[in-house]
Amino acid sequence: MYPKAIENYFAPTDVAEVLTLLNQYGEQAKLLAGGQSLMPLMKLRLAEPQTIIDLNQVAALDDIREEDGRLHIGALARHSEVATHPIILQSYALLADAARNIGDPQIRNRGTIAGSLVHADPSADYPPAVMALDGQLVVAKADGSTRTVLVDDFLAGPLMSDIGEDELVTRIEIPAPVAQSGGAYAKHSQVAGDFAIISVAAQITRDPSGVCQQASIVVGGVMPKPCRAEQAASLLQGKAIDATLLTQAGEAAAEEVETEDDVRASADYRRQLIRVTVPEVVRQASARAEE
């Protein structure tokens, strides 16, 4: 299996150049970031771009920093960098959990956060994690304008995201969690490093007495895109998190999130996984909030 012939290959070195090329080649072009999904799609001839715009030489598109109360992650930040970055491990642990769960070491050395979100696989690790953290994407357009879009709206459906042919995601922004917040992410897959059958991301904020102030729970591995378990999250709100409450949250999430049969697992099995995984992940998130 080999990619179809590529007419044009460009390796621009700054964002302005990328946008000019996008404007010129638009619909026949594909942006190549880590390439860990795009290359297999090209080999399978499910993607046949005439023009490749390789982003890997673009400077300053991979930095990770905190600024104005937000975490900024450059579009090209590799999974291996997100998984090990001190700021992310310290304050955005669920994101590091998600990054560590993607593929294998070689894939994590190449794959990028924006690439994963644009690809929008409903079973991928980043989408539920970035949703649970209320992340936004900053998108640049060839005319020089930029827009910011909430990840919930950016993810449109299976392998569909809200990105125009003349647009480039330049970074992901995540609001810094308040004190006593913590998050966790876990997934179930058929084999190590595979896409999720079910994944759960949770971000919890507690007060000093251990009462849950705010909770966000997102379930991945469901169609058409990751789903917020809002009833489960609201159950936790205003209460001290104990074993009974955790069980109830798991039940509520299994009830409210719709599951489907596919090649990986049945709808029933997925529901059962949600029932047992939500309590586990919320417990871990809550423990991290206490630290």
Partner 1 sequence: MKRSIGITINGEVYEETVDQRLLLVDFIREVAGLTGTHVGCSVEGRCGACTVVLNGKAVKACLLLAVQADGASVLTIEGLAKDDALHPIQDGFWEKHGLQCGFCTPGLLMTLYEFLQNPKHSDEEIRTAMSGVICRCTGYVHIVEAVKHAIAAVEALSPEERKEWFPV
Q: Which stretch binds partner 1 (CB under 8 A): 40-48, 131-139, 173-181, 248-256?
A: 40-48
Smaller CB distance to partner 1: residue 40 or 157? 40
Q: Which stretch binds partner 1 (CB under 8 A): 17-25, 39-47, 116-124, 167-175?
A: 39-47
Q: Which stretch binds partner 1 (CB under 8 A): 14-22, 98-106, 176-184, 247-255?
A: 98-106
CB proximity list for 131: less than 8 A, separation 6 or greater: 151, 152, 155, 201, 216, 218, 226, 228
- Give residue 231's identity as a one-letter amino acid code: Q
45 binds partner 1 (CB under 8 A): no
Smaller CB distance to partner 1: residue 104 or 290? 104
Smaller CB distance to partner 1: residue 56 or 91? 56
What are the DSSP calls for 264-290, one per residue? S--HHHHHHHHHHHHHHHHHHHHHHHH
72 binds partner 1 (CB under 8 A): no
CB proximity list for 67: less than 8 A, separation 6 or greater: none
Smaller CB distance to partner 1: residue 43 or 65? 43
The CB-of-24 to partner 1 minimum distance in angstroms stands at 17
Residue with tokens 């890997």: 56
Please give the residues from 192 up to 221 whose contact with partner 1 meets the rule CB under 8 A. 192-193
The CB-of-100 to partner 1 minimum distance in angstroms stands at 9
65 binds partner 1 (CB under 8 A): no
| Buried-exposed string 208-240: b where 16+ CB fall within 10 A, e elsewhere | eeeebebbbbbbbbbeebbbbbbebbebbeeee
Tell me the three-class secondary structure of 23-39, residue by residue: HHHHHHEEEECCCCCHH
When binding is defined by CB under 8 A, the residue of 16, 44, 211, 267 that contacts partner 1 is: 44
Q: Are 168 and 153 in contact (CB under 8 A)?
A: no
Question: What DSSP character marks residue 240?
Answer: B
Question: What spatial distance separates the first Cα and last Cα of the chain, rounded to whole Å?
Answer: 50
What are the DSSP calls for 122-133, one per residue? TT-SHHHHHHHT
84 binds partner 1 (CB under 8 A): no
277 binds partner 1 (CB under 8 A): no
With residues binned 3-state (H G I as helix, E B as strand, rest as coil), the percentages for the chain, rounded to 5, are 35, 25, 35
Smaller CB distance to partner 1: residue 43 or 147? 43
Smaller CB distance to partner 1: residue 6 or 245? 6
Residue ranges binding partner 1 (CB under 8 A): 1-9, 11, 32, 35-36, 39-40, 43-44, 52, 54, 56, 80, 103-107, 109-110, 192-193
